[in-house]
């Protein structure tokens, strides 16, 4: 039998990491709405874990801006603040433009092919109408562009900010029209990256986030009007 001693075991993830991922997806996808109370008893039963890993997950999500920890009152899903969202996405737009420039200059052909493969996977999910699957690959593409910029500081800052706006980025695609437009924009981003066209990719990445912001702000402003209309009826 071949020597098996150098094969590493499959790592088992801590429960709080699994709980963090599950809750993050539920919040990003809007299944746990902004302002909703996170009922520990209910969530421990649904997720099949104790309160300790659940509370650790709450702490992680609080650092990402997705959860608010209320003294002596548990935790809620963070409301979406349009002003803070606008400010954060403005910074991220500048970071993505800079990352696109650096990626054009520094990414290897193999790394660009990796991004291209993710793009085609994303398109397949769009064709099937699977927004959750689409979003997974969409986020992977943006992270790869930033990673392959070759600037570790840029990558770390971007990842921290992106955790705060993932929910908004997902929400922007709830409109089929906006989702289709986002796909067309990604086609153009991929083409500019492949051509290593610095000026074009900087403009495309910046505009891409600006379009998402406009879509989300429109939704956030529409929600109070809809609520007022229901209350008046």
Please give the full DSSP string across the chain, using - where no structure is assigned: ----TTPPPPPPPPHHHHHHHHHHHHHHTTSS-TT-B--HHHHHHHHT--HHHHHHHHHHHHHTTSEEEETTTEEEEPPP-HHHHHHHHHHHHHHHHHHHHHHHHH--HHHHHHHHHHHHHHHHHHHHT-HHHHHHHHHHHHHHHHHTTT-HHHHHHHHHHHHHHHHHHHHHTTSHHHHHHHHHHHHHHHHHHHHT-HHHHHHHHHHHHHHHHHHHHHHHHHHHHHHHHHHH-
pTM of the shown model = 0.81
Q: Give the Cα separation of 125 and 182 in Å (integer).
A: 13
Which domains occur in the chain, in start order? 15-77 (1.10.10.10), 82-232 (1.20.120.530)
pLDDT tens sequence across 164-205: 888 889 998 988 999 999 999 999 999 999 999 999 999 999
pLDDT tens sequence across 37-82: 999 999 999 988 899 999 999 999 998 889 999 988 889 999 988 8
Average pLDDT for the chain: 88
């Amino acid at each position: 039998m071949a020597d098996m001693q150098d094969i590493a075991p499959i790592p088992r993830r801590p429960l709080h990491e699994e709980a963090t991922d599950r809750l993050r997806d539920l919040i990003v996808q809007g299944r746990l709405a902004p302002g909703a109370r996170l009922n520990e008893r209910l969530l421990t039963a649904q997720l099949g874990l104790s309160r300790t890993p659940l509370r650790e997950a709450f702490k992680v999500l609080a650092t990402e801006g997705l959860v608010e920890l209320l003294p002596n009152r548990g935790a809620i899903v963070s409301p979406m603040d349009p002003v803070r969202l606008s400010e954060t996405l403005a910074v991220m737009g500048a970071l993505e433009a800079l990352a696109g420039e650096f990626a054009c200059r520094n990414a290897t052909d193999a790394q660009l092919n990796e991004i291209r493969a993710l793009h085609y996977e994303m398109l397949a999910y769009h064709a099937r109408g699977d927004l959750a699957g689409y979003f997974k690959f969409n986020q992977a593409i943006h992270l790869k562009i930033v990673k392959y910029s070759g600037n570790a500081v840029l990558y770390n800052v971007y990842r921290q900010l992106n955790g705060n706006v993932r929910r908004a980025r997902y929400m922007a695609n709830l409109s089929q029209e906006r989702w289709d437009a986002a796909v067309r924009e990604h086609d153009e981003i991929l083409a500019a990256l492949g051509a290593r066209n610095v000026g074009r990719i900087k403009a495309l990445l910046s505009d891409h986030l600006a379009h998402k912001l406009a879509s989300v702000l429109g939704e956030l402003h529409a929600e109070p009007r809809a609520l007022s209309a229901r209350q008046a009826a």
